[in-house]
Amino acid sequence: MGSYAIANYLDGKKVPTFTNSENWDHTTIDYMLRNRATYGEYQPKSFAGGHKKGVPNGPPIPNYYPAVIDRNTYETAQIARKQNLANRGRKGNELANIFGGLTRCAYCGNEFVLHRVTNIQVLACAQDLNGIGCSRTAWTYRDFEITLLAFLAHPALADRLQGRQKDKLIELIDRIVDLSTNQERSYPLRVDIAVLLKEIVTEIIVHSAGDISAPRLPSAQISKDVRGRYSEIRLWDGQLDRCLSLS
Ligand SMILES: [Zn+2]
């Protein structure tokens, strides 16, 4: 959803604006989506040397302003925004990676990021892609998404959680079911799922090379979908579960 669509949505819901204006202005929305103050953070700046915009001075201070949205939602909006910009002009906006910021490599701890191998989207270790070398194994994105969403939709997980956590997981399961039956709405559904995932999942540790732990040479070819690959998912109740690839 872009800033125009959000402005229309807020108008439609008759959400009051910050000013006396009757309608939401898309530039306000755009500013909010890009500004850390939206989730309450304040970045001290130095204006020394005649810097007009200022340069960051010291670490950002969390919870300085009252937050309009929480930080996870803000970060997911950034992901959606970047994807939007990257996909502009392409037919049917897709949120390419709904697990952004959640996945990390079991072998070196770096993030798993989207990458293309012979025109197929895969998730691969960022350190590996930077040429430093790691397991040199990637996981086809489509298979990864199907595997993880099927795992999260398992009723045993919802049984384990309680209260708000359980409600959020049930909301996630509803969206996953909607996604499988309603392809026309896949973009907004995927954005919803990405937001919910950030609330429910603490981390996903990706064992893309299965049980093999020895790193391979940085020059070795990246192999895809190694047998025995699995992920370990930590939900916000702290428990770590093993999730095996379905294929
Ligand atoms: Zn790695």
125 Cα–ligand 1 center, Å: 5
Provide the pLDDT for residue 42: 79
178 Cα–ligand 1 center, Å: 33
180 Cα–ligand 1 center, Å: 31
Higher pLDDT, 116 or 17: 116
Q: Name, in order, each residue with C-beta under 8 angstroms of 220's C-beta and a sequence gap of 6 or more.
A: 136
236 Cα–ligand 1 center, Å: 24
91 Cα–ligand 1 center, Å: 33
Provide the pLDDT for residue 194: 93
Higher pLDDT, 165 or 2: 165
Higher pLDDT, 218 or 180: 180
Average pLDDT over residues 140-169: 90
126 Cα–ligand 1 center, Å: 7
211 Cα–ligand 1 center, Å: 14
Which of 82-86, 185-189, 241-245 is least confident?
Answer: 82-86
212 Cα–ligand 1 center, Å: 12
Q: Is the pLDDT of residue 160 over 90?
A: no
Pick the most confident of 24-28, 52-56, 172-176.
Answer: 172-176
pLDDT digits (tens, 9 = 90+) for 45-87: 888 877 777 788 888 777 777 666 677 777 777 777 666 655 5
Q: Is the pLDDT of residue 165 over 90?
A: no
Which of 20-24, 30-34, 110-114, 159-163 is least confident?
Answer: 30-34
Cβ count near 121 (within 10 Å): 16
162 Cα–ligand 1 center, Å: 34
128 Cα–ligand 1 center, Å: 6
129 Cα–ligand 1 center, Å: 9
209 Cα–ligand 1 center, Å: 10
Provide the pLDDT for residue 173: 93
Place of tokens 């090379």: 209
CA distances from 45 to 53, 74, 183 (A): 8, 21, 45
16 Cα–ligand 1 center, Å: 47
Q: Is the pLDDT of residue 1 over 80?
A: no
Helix (H) / strand (E) element for 139: namely strand 137-140
Percent of the chain with pLDDT over 70: 89
Average pLDDT over residues 18-23: 76
Provide the pLDDT for residue 111: 95
Q: Name, in order, each residue with C-beta under 8 angstroms of 244's C-beta and a sequence gap of 6 or more.
A: 147, 229, 230
199 Cα–ligand 1 center, Å: 25
Percent of the chain with pLDDT over 90: 35
Q: Is the pLDDT of residue 129 over 80?
A: yes
Provide the pLDDT for residue 184: 83
Q: What is the C-alpha to C-alpha distance for residues 135 and 124, in angstroms, rounded to an integer?
A: 9
